[in-house]
């Protein structure tokens, strides 16, 4: 059987994650992958998890990390466990977006971070507790639960970052970040205006032909996606705080072509601006 691309459906468009408790008897599941990071936390029982060529045997209170688009399957020996999927891109604001490349899976297979859980009990406890707390927040949905989930995810990523003794995540080029700082500062101040690759490459003093490749390697997304990400994040805030039309919002963020605005908004939120506004009004 061919591996399948699992589509993860989010309940709340402002909380791009899915978490649930699952109970299984003795069984295999099929090879699959998805664009989200996945964490499994074993409540009780035993499970073998295969990620690419690696095998992890998990028991009570164990946790395993599976990177975005990594091929995986598992075998349950009768188990109860929490499954947690989330899109890391959505949990970095513009001021911390440079860290996103570390968890994108572009330069490293994120399952290599699982060594942390075997050699660092404190980090394992922190990540496990974050998963449990996120599950409770998602079930209870108390006021501010979306903010609480975001905080737990960031705490979990920070624990992994600071516990990475083997520097699995060190592929991010900090020299490259320094070289692009002037460009990123310019984008921060001008992203509602027209910004071209030619202009950006000139600011960074990098040749036009190399700039696009260099930017994606360092930041983890294309230059155009990075600019559009800033614009869509601003659009989200306007949708929730100002009573103006979608067309007016597009103009305010520098996307005067309404069709293009809708396309980009769907790319980052899996829904239209109007659906986003309605769903968030319903949730709050």
- Cβ proximity of 185 and 179 under 8 Å: no
Query: What's the topology of domain 174-283?
Result: Arc Repressor Mutant, subunit A (1.10.10)
Give the pLDDT of residue 179: 81
The model's pTM is 0.74
- Which residue intervals of the chain bear CATH 2.60.120.10? 4-168
Give the pLDDT of residue 65: 98
Computed over every residue of the chain, the mean pLDDT equals 88
Confidence of residue 106 (pLDDT cuts 50, 70, 90): low
- Cβ proximity of 82 and 21 under 8 Å: yes
Q: What is the mean pLDDT of residues 27-56?
A: 93
- Which residue intervals of the chain bear CATH 1.10.10.60? 174-283
Share of residues in the chain with pLDDT > 90 (%): 54
Instruction: Please state which of the four CATH numbers 2.60.420.10, 3.40.50.300, 2.60.120.10, 3.30.930.10 is assigned to the domain occupying 4-168.
Output: 2.60.120.10
Give the pLDDT of residue 271: 85
Per the model's pLDDT, the better-predicted residue between 263 and 276 turns out to be 263
Q: Lowest-pLDDT range, 8-17, 89-98, 130-139, 263-272?
A: 89-98
Give the pLDDT of residue 47: 96
Find all residues with CB under 8 Å of 183, minimum gap 6, and list them.
200, 203, 204, 215
Residue 107 has pLDDT above 80, yes or no: no
Q: Lowest-pLDDT range, 25-39, 67-81, 85-99, 122-136?
A: 85-99
Share of residues in the chain with pLDDT > 70 (%): 93
Q: Tokens 């963020």 sit at which residue?
A: 253
Per the model's pLDDT, the better-predicted residue between 91 and 273 turns out to be 273
199-224, pLDDT tens digit by residue? 999 999 999 889 998 888 877 788 99
Give the pLDDT of residue 140: 96
- Cβ proximity of 187 and 226 under 8 Å: yes
Residue 1 has pLDDT above 70, yes or no: no
Confidence of residue 85 (pLDDT cuts 50, 70, 90): very high
Task: Classify residue 15 as exposed, middle or buried by CB count within 10 Å of its CB (0-12, 13-18, 19+).
Answer: buried
Give the pLDDT of residue 94: 63
Q: Which two tokens stand for residue 171?
A: 């592929």
Q: Lowest-pLDDT range, 97-106, 134-143, 183-192?
A: 97-106
């Amino acid at each position: 059987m061919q591996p399948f691309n699992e589509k993860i459906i989010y309940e709340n468009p402002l909380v791009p994650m899915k978490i649930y408790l699952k109970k299984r008897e003795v069984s295999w599941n099929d090879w699959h992958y998805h664009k989200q990071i996945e964490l499994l936390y074993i409540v009780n029982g035993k499970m073998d998890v295969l990620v690419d060529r690696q095998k992890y045997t998990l028991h009570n209170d164990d946790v395993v990390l599976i990177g975005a688009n990594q091929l995986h399957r598992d075998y349950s020996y009768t188990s109860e466990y929490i499954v947690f999927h989330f899109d890391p891109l959505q949990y970095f604001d513009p001021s911390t977006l440079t860290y996103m490349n570390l968890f994108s899976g572009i330069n490293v297979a994120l399952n290599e971070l699982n060594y942390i859980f075997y050699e660092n009990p404190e980090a394992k406890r922190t990540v496990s507790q974050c998963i449990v707390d996120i599950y409770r927040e998602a079930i209870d949905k108390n006021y501010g639960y979306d903010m609480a989930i975001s905080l737990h995810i960031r705490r979990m990523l920070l624990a992994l970052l600071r516990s990475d003794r083997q520097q699995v995540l060190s592929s991010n080029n900090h020299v490259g970040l320094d070289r692009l700082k002037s460009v990123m500062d310019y984008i921060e101040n001008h992203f509602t205006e027209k910004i071209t690759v030619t202009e950006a490459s000139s600011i960074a003093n990098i040749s036009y032909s190399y700039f696009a490749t260099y930017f994606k390697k360092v930041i983890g997304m294309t230059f155009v996606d990075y600019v559009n990400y800033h614009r869509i994040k601003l659009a989200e805030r306007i949708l929730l705080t100002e009573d103006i039309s979608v067309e007016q919002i597009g103009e305010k963020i520098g996307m005067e072509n309404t069709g293009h605005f809708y396309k980009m908004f769907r790319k980052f939120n899996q829904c239209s601006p109007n659906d986003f506004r309605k769903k968030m009004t319903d949730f709050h």
